[in-house]
Amino acid sequence: MIETKCPPVVSVPHLKASCSPALDPPHEVRAVRDSELGRTLLPPRRAFSVRVVKRAKSVGRSSAHHRPDLTAPRGEDRRGTPRNAEEHLSSPGVSLIRRRRPGMAVPYEGQSFSALRRQCQQNGRLFEDPLFPASDQSLFYQSNRIGQVTWKRPKELCSDPHLFVDGISAHDLHQGQLGNCWFVAACSSLAFREALWQKVIPDWKDQEWDQGKTESYSGIFHFRFWRFGEWVDVVIDDRLPTVNGELVYCHSNDSSEFWSALVEKAYAKTYGCYEALDGGNTADALVDFTGGVSEPLDLIEHGFKEDEEKCNELFERVLKVHDRGGLISCSIRAISAADMEARLACGLVKGHAYAVTDVRRVRLGHGLLAYFRSDKLNMIRMRNPWGQKEWNGPWSDSSEEWKKVSKSERERIGVTVQDDGEFWMNFDDFIANFTDIILCRLINTSYLSLHKTWDEAVMSGSWQRHDDPLLNRAGGCTNNKLSFLQNPQYVFDVKKPEDEVLICLQQKDRRARLREGRGENLAIGFDIHRVELNRTYRMHVTQQKVGGSVYINSRSVFLRIDLKEGRYVIIPTTFDPGLEADFLLRNFSDVSADCKELTQHEPPQTCWSGLCGYPSLVTQVHILNANGLAGQDSDGVSDPYVIIRCEGEKVRSPVHKNTRSPVFDIKGLFYRKKANNPISIELYNHNALMDSFLGQVTLPAEQGEFQQTLHLRDKGNRRDNDLPGTLTVAVVTSTVLTNI
């Protein structure tokens, strides 16, 4: 066995550290960048963790039990609800929700918006949030960096405050004295999607100021974010930090509009303070606003800059995500501290997140003839969260290129000549200048849709350390050969000949622990292995790896992969072994994948085992291929498939079309009670009415490993007669049921 060692994780921009395990491609770990600031997150530190909450069926008995969250601050459980919540009920500003109907958002920290507002109206006082007070602890987790702050309510800042003035748009947002352009860019994208922002800002008309009913105003608002698999309802008061009468953080063009400042405050509350938003990942905010799945793409690494065909394919993907309601962000990577927020000659800013606000093909030409021409340009529109500093190259606001486009077309797509931070670019120029793009897809799971629908499986789990290898669930990546398979395992099926599968692994957000010095994400990732078609127990020997994510210390990792029909096991891991944390695994496929957690190692012994027997052997049968099968149609070919039979159980392969030499490459796993009973393998040709028999082979019941090429035989009284063709099989048998 080749001994390997993992190099230490070094915190440098675009870090890739890897080590090469024997007989397997090396795993790499990448330090995620704060793309908008050019900042590299620190390498992951050790953490502790909690329990498994399953949202999909489990195969066998669960080995996970409810345990207190060792990572939560004292007095809090894993959802952040105070354990002594009954005591908090007597405190102003806290109303614990004990139950909720399906589909309702979870009250953050147990605070009920309706109950608290009703309480304030009855008492005739404005709401003051005890969980996010108007003090420095809500502003900073380190030290005050902005001077004397005065907290003011909107009514103290203007005479006629509103949530929205003339509707909602991306121009309502301007970044304040906080490095959170990643959040502001996500808000800019959100503003263009009414269905989405109405989810984040629920019942906005009910929350809006009503000058005719000032007595009903209670200074309380609530907003919703998707956090770790569920929507969370966050209550805040309307006191906002100001310096010299001006809002310190996010603000609108209109001094009487406050939705952006209030959403930012609610988001900061979930992370403990405003300073915790200083530097982050736009992909996280996009997911928090939508419940979607973010796919980060490195435009350099994927070769989009050099390959025109790839560039066109990317535009189609970006256009599809935009047209179907998704959110998009992009940035130019800053590779050093000096690069952070450096303005380039073209007007773009490095290490800064931009919101993509439109994607379309723009028609060139003037007049009626333009509608019959095929000349269209791939264009993308972006917005700088600063509200200024735009692209000054081709197709910028006042460039000569716009003369190629009719006035009506310019008005249709919203071309403006003002320094408002929003600008258009040719997609080729976009690819040439930007280095990263994030596509946040809204996964369509509705059956009443004209677009592609997905089947979603959501599973919550945790990496938990244990001294017993059979109970340990914190084994690290495949570089750790002895412990890798001790991680949680999830099995799923691909039921079509080939299917696109989307997989997202997310860890619990650790940003709220920055005050404790434990805010860095763990480096996480996952591998996908193709296994036996009938596997229902945990995998104990590494099988064929067909894909996997990169290991990265971000909140989530994503993979889009095409898989052939069969059964697969996902193994989510931390990069290093022994680290504990909660995770959420989401699997999307075209049809139901029957995703389940594998919890048991072998068949359980029951009260019937003494009467009916218990397995003494485990056998893996691998059907490699067949050759020289008899032709069954006019073209002299067949549509063969194979059936493996063992002690009343059978495994059937997919049908292989138009071949006499199929490569089956399928496996079956059998727990056997009768060691002397042979295993039979039958080949059939698939027909519309009745399948025809092509031959069979019988395997001995001996222990050990062997591979054989066997001649096909007839069945019944003619079983000694040879039939055309051979079958190559590999067999592994063990008396230790956890050896395979």
Helical (H) or strand (E) element with 641: strand 640-646
| DSSP-derived secondary structure letter, 364 | P
Tokens matching residue 276 = 């915790």
CB distance 577 to 474 below 8 Å? yes
Taking the C-alpha atoms of residue 433 and residue 550, their distance in angstroms, rounded to an integer, is 25
β-bridge pairing 581-589 and 39-40:
unpaired
The answer to whether the CB of 694 falls within 8 A of the CB of 678 is: no
Active site annotation includes 487: no
The active-site residue, picked from 180, 378, 384, 553, is: 384
> Nearest CA to 220 among 135, 136, 95, 106?
95
* 682: β partners: 643, 696
What whole-number distance in Å separates Cα of residue 569 and Cα of residue 544?
10
3-state DSSP assignment of residue 218: coil
Q: Edge-to-edge strands of the sheet including 617-627?
A: 649-652, 640-646, 679-685, 692-699, 704-713, 722-734, 617-627, 666-672
Q: Which among 437, 556, 548, 467 is positioned nearest to 501, based on CA atoms?
A: 548
Question: Cα(264)–Cα(353) distance, rounded to whole angstroms?
Answer: 16
Q: The tokens 């998009």 sit on which residue? A: 328
- Please report the sign of the dihedral spanned by the C-alpha atoms of residue 589, residue 458, residue 576, residue 601: negative
| Dihedral angle over CA of 582, 586, 587, 590, nearest 10 | 170
CA 663 to chain centre: 34
**Residue 194: in which H helix or E strand, if any?**
helix 194-200
Rounded CA-CA distance 357/25 in Å is 39
Query: How many whole angstroms separate alpha carbon 695 and alpha carbon 454?
Result: 40
Q: Which residue has the tokens 């258009």?
A: 424
Other CB atoms within a 10 A radius of the CB of residue 45 amount to 14
Three-class SS of residue 2? coil
529 classed as catalytic: no
How far apart are the C-alpha atoms of 265 and 321, rounded to whole Å?
29
CA 461, CA 505: separation in Å to the nearest integer? 11
In DSSP notation, 711-739 reads EEE--GGGTTSEEEEEEEEEEEEESSTT-
Pairwise CA distance, residues 130 & 575, whole Å: 39
Concerning whether 181 is annotated as a catalytic residue, the answer is yes
Cα–Cα dist 385/395, whole Å: 20
Work out whether strand 596-598 and strand 58-59 pair parallel, antiparallel, or are unpaired.
parallel
589 token code pair: 């496929």
Can you read off the two tokens belonging to residue 424?
């258009």
Which H helix or E strand runs over 432?
Answer: helix 427-433
CA distance 667 to 732: 11
| Residue among 352, 540, 622, 656 flagged as catalytic | 352
Tokens of residue 707, six digits:
């591979």
Q: Report the alpha-carbon distance of residue 455 to residue 686 in Å, rounded.
A: 29
**Cβ contacts of residue 522 below 8 Å, gap of 6+?**
44, 47, 507, 510, 553, 574, 575, 579, 581
In 575-637, beta strands by DSSP E: 581-589, 596-598, 617-627
Which of 6, 120, 181, 330 is an active site residue?
181
**Strand positions, DSSP E, 324-398:** 327-331, 353-363, 376-383
* DSSP state, residue 282: H
Integer Rg of the chain from CA: 30
| Separation of alpha carbons 485 and 487, rounded Å | 5
Q: Which residues are known catalytic residues?
A: 181, 352, 384
